[in-house]
Amino acid sequence: MAIVINLDVELAKKKMSVTDLAAGIGLAVANVSILKNGRAKAVRFSTLDAICAVLGCQPGDILTYVPDEEH
């Protein structure tokens, strides 16, 4: 995956648990876990919007582009 989600880093910075974030953005804890573990295939802008509002960060703080290593 070229796009990496750094949600765990942001959560650690804000000292917030997955449960708190899920409650804050109105999502199921399971879905937030999927997002945090990088197993999500797609994210809604509305979800991204809510995460940024709750964590007080920019989308760029959560999403990172990592080029695939070419062998």
**Among residues 16, 40, 50, 63, the one that binds another protein under rule CB under 8 A:** 40
52 binds another protein (CB under 8 A): no
Tokens 């695939």 label which residue? 68
Helix (H), strand (E) at residue 23: helix 18-25
Tell me how far apart the alpha carbons of residues 40 and 1 are, in angstroms, rounded to a whole number: 11
Q: How far is the CB of 34 from another protein (least distance, A)?
A: 6
**Among residues 18, 29, 43, 52, the one that binds another protein under rule CB under 8 A:** 43
18 binds another protein (CB under 8 A): no
Tell the burial category of 66 from Cβ atoms under 10 Å away from its Cβ (0-12, 13-18, 19+).
exposed
31 binds another protein (CB under 8 A): yes
